[in-house]
Structure 1
């Protein structure tokens, strides 16, 4: 994964920024935590600013990263990152997460409560004086959350900023996340509740989600809200609609090495297409995805350029965008999906023969009937 994503993006760069690349191989378990591995790399680095990044990230524009790093000349910023959460629970920092765009655009750093671990930017001297936590409770989760809070406790700012990256994650590792969050809450009780990209830390709050009634039926409120959007989608373009998280279920689409998936992100909020919209091919479990991003007004033109490609996925649309697409997305070869308040569209065999996962109760909108394949 590292060779295919991070290595390849750095090797493709041919610009003026001098890049020192220090991959840390922990396959022999020389380091007991992510913090320990990254601290080791910081000690080896020779530049004033370091970027700490996951192996499954593709860097679309290293010049953009250099511009982000230059913001650290302002001493108010203690650490920057690709995505973070504000006090009012807004996700800030535009990036591609698997196959969807997330986060509000932040061309310049925006103060946040906490940062995600996917990509961090900091002064090397700061990290030498105040290394990332190597505590066992934060071995693989929330070490950036803790560092953000530590920076803020020292009177400086943690900031999220647009870094033009794709996080090509193949899995979601939640093991011991609750333990990490509890530890962060214990360390910074005065800052609770603490909003993070993986949930809210509030040790004193009752976990209503674990109550049987909420656990078994809590999905219905979201289902009703998304069903209303699904009805508008059906009215607009006349195709079947499912309610599904395409970021985590993209690999159900049946694409292959011979017939790759063509992904088109509609960048409604801006901050991504201009910097990272050019086509790039990333693989998921050996199957290629041809990724590109455009402004919503250019989606129709981009779809026409794909011709009759078998597997096409468009994400990030609003219902109001659908009227302009018209006949480009009608017929039995197309299926629509609703995720949060956004609409995605898929063309291919999966539209004609839906996977069983999209026949579960929570995936079928109110008033619709989707037969099990």
Structure 2
């Protein structure tokens, strides 16, 4: 649905119009910046919506590619830009809510319970609201693997807090609903806006990650920076003639099994060749096939993986290690020499490290 000219007042209005034009039993609602690696996997996930529950309990009303349980566990394995997120969910797992990036519903259910067209929920939380409405009416909401890459160029949080507050007021019977963007209607973030916290709150995380950085430098004897690569990958020095080779390490194999061959997507007109490896040995074999001058990013590493990787790179091969809250990454090749300027700022330099 093309809503660039604002023919529809909200995403919900546009998607409802699309659902009315659809003919198949299941409707899949998906953002425009999503790449689907396996239509077979998508069809398998959708099949759960058509089946009657074996235990005679409530049937699935809504399934998403990414969701959060009430225990605050992210489920549904997806690649978000350059990082794998979420625990595997080969079969649907019940969740508090699903993300809008991709969700599916029976067409007849959606016609009975259409998406909200409220402009206050124009971009955020319309799937969260629908899930709560279905739960109120006796359905289950779940997340399941859909084998996708969300190739978003930015993170738009504008209006999110207001949307969450509105949905929270609509469904007071559901307490502390977890979403991929935090607890619904939570007021706990207000303290973060206090001047002292907003100006200096980053230092606690910086100290914690600096400790991790020192351990990594002892482990592999490489320069370490503190950076959320998912937010900063576009600052790396790759180009249409020198693409970025992205490798995600996926030991569980749930995502790797649906992406056996590399996929090339573009970010700002520059190609990123995305590969998923089921083991470090597989990763090292693929690295050995690349030219020495290739730009490389490796995500989702642990200490054992870094040690194996150290032996895979030649002494002359430039590479650096990065620390972010959830995992460790590596940048190698020319883009490990032409580093982004903001990696030289204080926040990116671990405590006690010399500037890069």
CA contact under 8 A between 1:83 and 1:91: conserved in structure 2? yes
What secondary structure, in the 3-state scheme, does the structure 1 residue paired with 2:273 have?
A: strand
The answer to whether the 8 A contact 2:227-2:324 is kept is yes
Q: Report how many aligned residue pairs link the two structures.
A: 348
Structure 1 residue 111 and structure 2 residue 97: aligned?
A: no
CA distance in 2: counterparts of 1:129 and 1:39, whole angstroms: 11
Q: Determine if the alignment matches structure 1 residue 308 to structure 2 residue 286.
A: no
- Where structure 1 has 5 or more consecutive residues not aligned to the other structure, the ranges are 1-23
**Correspondence for 1:128:** 111
2:26 corresponds, among 24, 49, 60, to 49
1:137 aligned onto 2:120: yes
- What TM-score results when the alignment is normalised by the length of structure 2? 0.93
Relative distance call for 1:206 and 1:97 in structure 2 (3 A) is closer
RMSD: 1.6
Mapping for residues 358-369 of structure 1, pairs under 5 Å: 358-369=343-354
Q: Distance in 2 between matches of 1:206 and 1:264?
A: 34
Deviation at 1:203, TM superposition (A): 4.7
Moved more, 199-208 or 339-348: 199-208
Distance 1:57 1:214, change over 3 A: same
Which position in structure 2 is the counterpart of 1:74? 52
Tell me the CA shift for residue 136 of structure 1. Answer: 1.5
Residues 95-123 of structure 1, C-alpha deviations (whole Å, 9 max, x = no match): 11001110111001011101100001110
Separation (CA, whole Å) in 2 of partners of 1:341 and 1:179: 28
**What aligned pairs does 1:1-373 form with structure 2 within 5 A after superposition?**
24-72=1-49, 73-74=51-52, 76-203=59-186, 205=188, 207-297=190-280, 298-329=282-313, 333-371=318-356
CA distance in 2, matches of 1:324, 1:302: 14
- Answer whether contact 2:64 2:98 (CA < 8 A) is retained: yes
CA contact (8 A) 1:280 1:291 kept: yes
Shift of 1:213: 2.3
Give the Cα separation in 2 of the matches to 1:296 and 1:54: 30
Note if contact 1:332-1:352 (Cα within 8 Å) is conserved in structure 2. no
Structure 2 unaligned spans of 5+:
54-58
Secondary structure of the residue that 2:164 maps to in structure 1? helix
Query: Is this contact kept in 2: 1:268–1:316, CA < 8 A?
Result: no
Please report how far the alpha carbon of residue 160 of structure 1 lies from its aligned counterpart in structure 2 after TM superposition.
0.7
> How much has 1:219 moved relative to structure 2?
1.7
Contact 1:242–1:363 at 8 Å: present in 2 too? yes
Query: Structure 2 vs 1, CA of residues 234 and 331 (structure 1 numbering), >3 Å: closer, same or farther?
Result: farther
Per-residue CA distance 1:51-90 (angstroms, 9 max, x = gap):
1111111111000000000111135211000001111211
CA contact (8 A) 2:213 2:350 kept: yes
Q: 1:227/1:269 Cα in 2 relative to 1: closer, same or farther (>3 Å)? A: farther
**Residue deviations 1:248-302 (CA, integer Å, cap 9, x gap):** 1101111000000001110134320111242011001110001110113322112
Q: In terms of mean alpha carbon deviation, does 203-212 or 303-312 score higher?
A: 203-212
TM-score, normalization by structure 1: 0.89
Q: Hey, what does 1:10 align to over in structure 2?
A: none
CA 1:206–1:55 in 2, change beyond 3 Å: closer, same or farther? closer
